[in-house]
Amino acid sequence: MNTLVMKMGQGRTNSLMTELADYQIAINNPYVSFAAKYQETTVLVYTSGKIVFQGKRALKVAQRFGYQGDEALASETKSSNQGKIAQEKLSLIGSDEVGNGSYFGGLAVVASLVRPSDQALLRDLGVADSKVLNDRKIQQLAPILEEKIPHKALLLSPAKYNEVVGPGKAHNAVSVKVALHNQAIYLLLQEVPKPDKIVIDAFTSQNNYKKYLKGERNQFANPLTFEEKAEGKYLAVAVSSIIARNLFLENLKKLGEDLGYQLPSGAGAKSDKVASQLLAAYGMEGLRHCAKLHFANTKKAQKLLNH
């Protein structure tokens, strides 16, 4: 689906709402002041003044209102390389998270059970660590894995994340991941036979994990194995990394659509710039809806806005 963006006041957009009044549709988004469906294209006018055209004929409709460009915005993809994962003869639960290092978007944690009988299918599909697969491949694989592989997926939205993570709150950036990994594995264990092994892609030391685990209500007796870069060693962790990545990407896209901005993943200078634009358009409430506020990007964005 093509996506094009204009600002109110560009071209003939000042008359857009009048011209498309007969095509207006209802939409449950507090950041959208007007929405219409016209010629297979959804037109969204945001309170920030941004206008988004989405659909097969987005370019044609946008050009009607003076759009001068000739291409839709393309999403970034990473180069795809097939990772090599050793054959595993055990029934194994693997857990991984995605979104921890990204300013925008939620935190997705997935636990998956892979049995020896699943491995031929996974290798035929080209399952590998999500970090070496481009987003298109992730989006192709995830629905198949979700259907074929027993798993539990949890998503902590930015809004909820900001409620529970930060100075003086219930969690820090590590303890919240402990809580999510523990809960995902606990829920999966309620539905599947006892695995031979449970592996977590190590994001902290085992002692630190155990320290934070003491505060969790749902616990289980199965021992855990912590390994760095486990998503490149175990198919179960690789499956979880793919499902989690897809969940994160879907959430990132949805949050961007809520606000009318293309939200980047990661926490670099591009995130600072977009965050400053969101601050200008919606204030801190806009950021609270889509970003992890305790990241340094928040202060950087405020500094950019003030200058």
Q: Is residue 110 part of a domain?
A: yes
Angle at which helix 206-213 crosses helix 175-189, to 10 degrees, equals: 80
Question: Are residues 56 and 113 both part of a single domain?
Answer: no
| CA proximity to 9, closest of 60, 41, 51 | 51
The verdict on 53 and 96 lying in the same domain is no
User: Are 37 and 179 in a shared domain?
Assistant: no
User: Within a domain: residue 164?
Assistant: yes
For residue 109, being part of any structural domain is answered with yes
Query: In degrees rounded to 5, what are phi and psi of residue 274?
Result: -65, -40
- Phi and psi at residue 98, to the nearest 5°: -135, 140
Residue 201 assigned to a binding site: yes
Task: Establish if 48 belongs to a structural domain.
Answer: yes
213, 248, 283 — which closes off a domain? 248
- 102 with 227, same domain? yes
Q: What is the CATH number of the domain that holds 21?
A: 3.30.310.10
> Is the CB of residue 53 less than 8 Å from the CB of residue 1?
no
| pLDDT score for 86 | 55
How far apart CA 154 and CA 216 sit, in angstroms, is 16
- 238 and 273 together in one domain: no
Nearby residues of 227 by Cβ (< 8 Å), 6 or more positions away: 199, 200, 201, 202, 233, 234
For residue 171, the domain's CATH number is 3.30.420.10
| Residue 60 forms part of a structural domain | yes
Tell whether 72 is covered by a domain. no
Q: Return the structure tokens found at 231.
A: 């998503």
Structure tokens at 276: 């400053």
Pair 244, 277 in one domain: no
Same domain, 149 and 227: yes
- 97 in a known ligand binding site: yes
State which of 205, 227, 248 marks the end of a domain: 248
Three-state SS string over the chain comes to: CEEEEEECCCCCHHHHHHHCHHHECCCCCCCEEEEEEECCEEEEEECCCEEEEEECCHHHHHHHCCCCCCCCCCCCCCCCCCCCCCCCCCCEEEEEEECCCCCECCEEEEEEEECHHHHHHHHHHCCCCHHHCCHHHHHHHHHHHHHHCCEEEEEECHHHHHHHECCCCCECCCHHHHHHHHHHHHHHHCCCCCCCEEEEECCCCHHHHHHHHCCCCCCCCCCCEEECCHHHCCHHHHHHHHHHHHHHHHHHHHHHHHHCCCCCCCCCHHHHHHHHHHHHHHCHHHHHHHECCCCCHHHHHHHHHHC
Asked if residue 221 is part of any domain, the answer here is: yes
- Asked if 106 and 99 count as a contact pair (C-beta separation under 8 A), the reply is yes
Claim to verify: residue 144 and residue 271 sit in the same structural domain? no
Let me know whether 128 and 241 are in one domain.
Answer: yes
Distance CA 304, CA 9 (A): 24
Residues 51 and 151 in one domain: no
One-letter identity of residue 218: N
Beta strands 107-114 and 151-156, pairing class: antiparallel
Give the residue from 233, 248, 263 where a domain finishes: 248
How far, CA to CA in Å, does 57 sit from each of 26, 70, 92, 266? 21, 12, 47, 31
Does 97 share its domain with 191? yes
pLDDT tens string, the chain, 307 residues long: the values are: 678 889 888 888 888 998 899 899 999 999 999 999 999 999 999 998 899 999 888 888 998 888 876 443 333 223 333 445 655 688 999 999 999 999 999 999 999 999 999 988 888 888 876 677 888 889 989 999 999 999 999 999 999 999 999 889 999 999 999 999 999 999 999 999 999 999 999 999 999 999 999 989 999 999 999 998 888 889 999 999 999 999 999 999 999 999 999 999 999 999 999 999 999 999 999 999 999 999 999 999 999 998 8
Tokens encoding 163? 């409620």
230 is a domain residue: yes
CA distances from 163 to 70, 157, 190 (A): 42, 10, 28
What is the structure's pLDDT at 82? 40
Alpha-carbon distance of 245 to 71, in angstroms, equals: 27
Q: What is the pLDDT of residue 43?
A: 95
Per the DSSP assignment, residues forming a β-bridge with 180 are none
Q: How many domains does the chain have?
A: 3
21 lies in which domain range?
A: 2-65
Do 61 and 115 fall within a single domain? no
